[in-house]
C-alpha cells in the first residue's frame, strides 16, 4: 500500500501498464524482527529484475539555492540510490527475506530468480 502521493503514482502506473502482472509494489525486507522498505516497486520478468525507488522530497525554495539543492539531492537522489544498491545486493546474495507485507506473512522468495540467473549482475 502506498504511503504517499508519489508512491501511489508509481503503484498506479505499474498497475495500468503492460507489465502489471510482473509488478510488486511496496516490498519489505526483514532486518531482525523489523520491517524495512526494500524498494517502492519491483518488476520481475524471467531473470530480469527492475528496481524502482522514489522519494517525495520538496525543494526548499526559501533556502540558498546551492544549499537547498544539496539537501534535496541528499534526501532524494542519494537515498534512492543507496536503497537500490542495497536491494540489488540483497538479490545477488540470494536473500529470501523479501515480503509483500510488513508483517512478514507473504514471502516473495519464489518470485525472484536465483542470484546466478540474474540478468546484468
- Mean pLDDT (the chain) is 88
Q: What is the pTM of this model?
A: 0.82
Residues 6+ apart with CB under 8 A from 118: 47, 49, 91, 92
pLDDT tens by residue, 51-83: 999 888 899 999 999 999 999 999 999 999 999
In the chain, what are the domain boundaries?
5-117
pLDDT exceeds 80 at position 121: no
Amino acid at each position: 500500500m502506498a504511503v504517499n502521493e508519489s508512491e501511489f503514482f508509481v503503484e498506479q502506473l505499474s498497475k495500468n501498464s503492460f507489465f502489471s502482472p510482473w509488478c510488486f509494489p511496496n516490498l519489505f525486507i526483514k532486518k531482525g524482527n523489523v520491517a524495512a522498505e526494500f524498494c517502492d516497486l519491483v518488476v520481475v520478468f524471467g531473470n530480469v529484475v527492475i528496481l524502482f525507488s522514489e522519494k517525495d522530497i520538496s525543494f526548499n525554495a526559501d533556502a540558498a539555492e546551492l544549499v537547498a539543492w544539496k539537501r534535496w539531492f541528499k534526501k532524494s537522489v542519494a537515498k534512492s540510490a543507496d536503497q537500490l544498491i542495497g536491494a540489488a545486493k540483497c538479490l545477488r546474495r540470494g536473500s529470501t527475506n523479501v515480503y509483500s507485507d510488513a508483517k512478514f506473512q507473504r514471502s516473495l522468495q519464489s518470485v525472484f530468480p536465483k542470484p546466478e540467473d540474474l540478468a546484468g549482475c
